[in-house]
Amino acid sequence: MKLSELATRLGLELRGDGGVEVFAPAPIEAAAPGMIIFVASAKYAPILKRSGGAAAAIVAAEFAAGAKCPLLISPNPYADFARVIGIFFPPYRPAPGIDPTAKIAPDAKLGEGASIGAFAVIGAGVTIGARAVLHPHAVIYPNARIGDDFIAHSHAVVREGCMIGDRVTLLDGAVIGADGFGYVEANGGLVKIPQVGIVVLEDEVEIGAKSTVDRATLGATILHRGVKLDDQVHIGHNCEIGEYTRFAAHVGIAGSAKIGKWCQFGGQVGCADHAKIGDRVMASAQSGLHGNIADGAIVAGTPHADMKYYRRYAALWWRIPELFRRVRAIENRSGVDRAE
C-alpha cells in the first residue's frame, strides 16, 4: 500500500513522499526497496542515512534528522511496527459457520458470527459470545462461560464451569481448568483432594501452546486482564496472576502463589507455592523464587537473589577451582591439616 495510507491507518505523522509503495515490513538487517523498517534506538539510526535502503521507516522523532527515506514518526516505533505486521499479515480466520462434524449440545448458546471447526465439541450449558472461533478438535466442557472474540486453536480445552472474558486466545493444546495437584496420605496410600473450583481468565489473556492453568481446589485460579503465557507454562491451583504479567516458556508457578501486575519471568523460572510476588518484578531465566519479593525487584538465581548481588557471586563461580588450589597450596606450605 502507499505510505500515506499506512500513515493514516496508524495515525502517525508522515515526513517525505507519501506516494511510496510499501510491500511488506522487514527487519533492519533486511532493509531493501519496497520494505518498511523501524528504528527505536541510536544504535540503528545510522542506517536511515544510507541511500538505497528501505522504502520507509517508522522512527522516534529524535532519529529523523538526515534520513534518506520517507518516515513515519512514532512515540513507540516497536509497537507501531508490530501493528504494521498485523496489517500486512492478518491472522488466519475461518469463515463463520459450523462444520457438520462438530458436536454442540442443544442448550449451548453461540453468539453471532461463530466459526466452529471440524470435530469441535461444545458441552451442555455453555455460553460463548460473538465471533468465536473454535478450530478443529477444540473442546469446551459443560457450563463454561466465554466472552466475545474468543479463539481456541486445535485441541485446546476449556474444562467445566470455567469463566473466560473477551478477546481471549488459547493456542494449540492449551488446557484451562484441569484438576489441581493435591493428595493426602491416608491408610498407606494417597487420597485425591477433589478440585472443585474453577479458572477465571479475564479479557485479553493469551495462553500458549501446551500450557496449563489448573482449576482451584476451592474458589478460583485467576489470570487478570492482559496476562500472556508462552508455550508450555504451568499455573498451579488457586494462583492469582496480576494484569499484563508475561511468562516465557517453561515457567512453573506452584499452587496458591500470588504474582503482581506487569511482571516478567524468563524461561524456566520456578515459583514456590504460596509465594507473594510484587508488581513489576523481573526474574531472570531459570530463577527459583521462594518467599516474598517486593515491588520492582530484579532477581536471578536459585534461590533468588537481587540481580546486583547475583552478578557478583556468579562471577566468582568460575574462580572456585583456582581459589581451591590456592588454599591447598597455602595449607601445604604451612603444614596445617587439609580441610576436607
Per annotation, catalytic residue among 137, 224, 234, 237: 237
Tally Cβ neighbours within 10 Å of residue 298.
Answer: 15
Instruction: Please state, rounded to an integer, the average pLDDT across all residues of the chain.
Output: 94
Quick check: 243 and 227 in contact, CB under 8 A?
Answer: yes
pLDDT attached to residue 313: 82
Q: What is the mean pLDDT of residues 251-261?
A: 98
3-88 with 97-251: one CATH topology? no
Please, which contacts does 92-101 make with residues 24 or more away whose CB atoms are closer than 8 Å?
93/133, 94/133, 94/135, 99/136
Tally Cβ neighbours within 10 Å of residue 331.
Answer: 13
pLDDT attached to residue 54: 86
The yes-or-no verdict on residue 11 having pLDDT over 80 is: yes
Does this model's pTM top 0.75? yes
Residue type, 285: A
Output the CATH code of domain 97-251: 2.160.10.10
CA-atom Rg of the chain in angstroms? 26
The yes-or-no verdict on residue 340 having pLDDT over 60 is: no
Degrees (nearest 5) of the Cα angle 247, 250, 253?
Answer: 65
Q: Is 237 a catalytic residue?
A: yes
Q: Domain residues of the chain, as ranges?
A: 3-88, 97-251
CATH superfamily of 3-88: MurE/MurF, N-terminal domain (3.40.1390.10)
Mind listing the pLDDT tens digit for each residue in 152-205? 999 999 999 999 999 999 999 999 999 999 999 999 999 999 999 999 999 999
